[in-house]
């Protein structure tokens, strides 16, 4: 189900860049390709190592639970590149500037390739810009020990500690029922709740279903 829904979203993301300049046939090609970009990107991303829970490089893996990077990042970049290939002169002239349509059309539709080159440069600059500020901001937070929550909050889950959502058992059933005084941090089970409370957490009581 996740692949189906994210695959559909990937197609929408992929065609966004070129929606005003590609023909319906080109849009179909982009959409089908975007689904594969998402699937392969998601699988590949799970193999990329990063800092682990111990703070050491290479002991952890990127944890993109909703596949935001493959769907929005990879499929977005793919769509920008495909626009440089599949944009038509007529559509570009109607959407933007008729005088530049011959130069800015997709490479496969008689364009000079200038649009494709500009789009690739745009992607590279965008990745560099985003990476620079992400490393600066999140690197600073990591250095100041402000990037991660404490281990007890991780055990319970931030859906519970920050949003008051009850964690789920295997199969999707809520693992606990929250009393009024426990709405902030329901726990996975009473034992974990007691442990969390004893260590200074917010959890005070839990009622089993």
pLDDT in tens, 129-153: 999 999 999 999 988 988 878 888 8
**Are 60 and 131 within 8 A, CB to CB?**
no
Q: What is the mean pLDDT of the chain?
A: 81
What per-residue confidence (pLDDT) applies to 56?
Answer: 78
Q: How far apart are CA 19 and CA 27, in angstroms?
A: 7
pLDDT at 43 over 80: yes
Per-residue confidence (pLDDT) for residue 113, from 0 to 100: 93
Residue range 54-108, pLDDT digits in tens? 777 888 888 888 899 999 999 999 999 999 999 999 999 999 988 889 889 999 9
Predicted confidence band of residue 178 (pLDDT cuts 50, 70, 90): very low
pLDDT at position 112 over 70? yes
pLDDT number for residue 201: 45
Identify the CA nearest to 42 among candidates 16, 80, 5, 15: 5
> Which residue, among 8, 58, 55, has the nearest Cα to 35 in the 3D structure?
8
pLDDT for the residue numbered 60 = 83
pLDDT at position 152 is: 80
Long-range contacts of 179-187 (CB under 8 A, 24+ apart): 179/205, 179/206, 179/207, 181/205, 182/206, 182/207, 185/153, 185/156, 185/160, 185/161, 186/156, 186/160, 187/156, 187/160
pTM of structure: 0.72
């Amino acid at each position: 189900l996740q692949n189906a829904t994210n695959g559909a979203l990937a197609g929408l993301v992929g065609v966004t860049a070129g929606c005003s300049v590609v023909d319906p046939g080109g849009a179909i090609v982009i959409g089908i390709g975007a689904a594969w970009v998402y699937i392969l990107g998601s699988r590949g991303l799970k193999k990329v190592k990063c800092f682990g829970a111990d703070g050491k490089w290479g002991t952890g893996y990127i944890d993109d639970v909703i596949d935001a990077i493959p769907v929005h990042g990879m499929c977005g970049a793919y769509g920008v590149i495909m626009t440089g290939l599949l944009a038509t002169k007529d559509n570009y002239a109607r959407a933007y500037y008729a005088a530049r349509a011959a130069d800015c059309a997709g490479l496969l539709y008689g364009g000079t390739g200038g649009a494709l080159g500009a789009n690739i440069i745009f992607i590279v600059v965008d990745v560099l810009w985003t990476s620079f500020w992400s490393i600066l901001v999140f690197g600073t937070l990591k250095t100041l020990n402000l990037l991660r929550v404490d281990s007890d909050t991780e055990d319970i889950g931030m859906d519970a500690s920050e949003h008051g959502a009850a964690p789920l058992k295997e199969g999707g059933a809520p693992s606990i029922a929250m009393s009024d005084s426990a709405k902030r941090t329901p726990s996975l089970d009473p034992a974990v709740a007691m442990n969390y409370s004893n260590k200074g957490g917010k959890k005070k009581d839990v009622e089993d279903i």
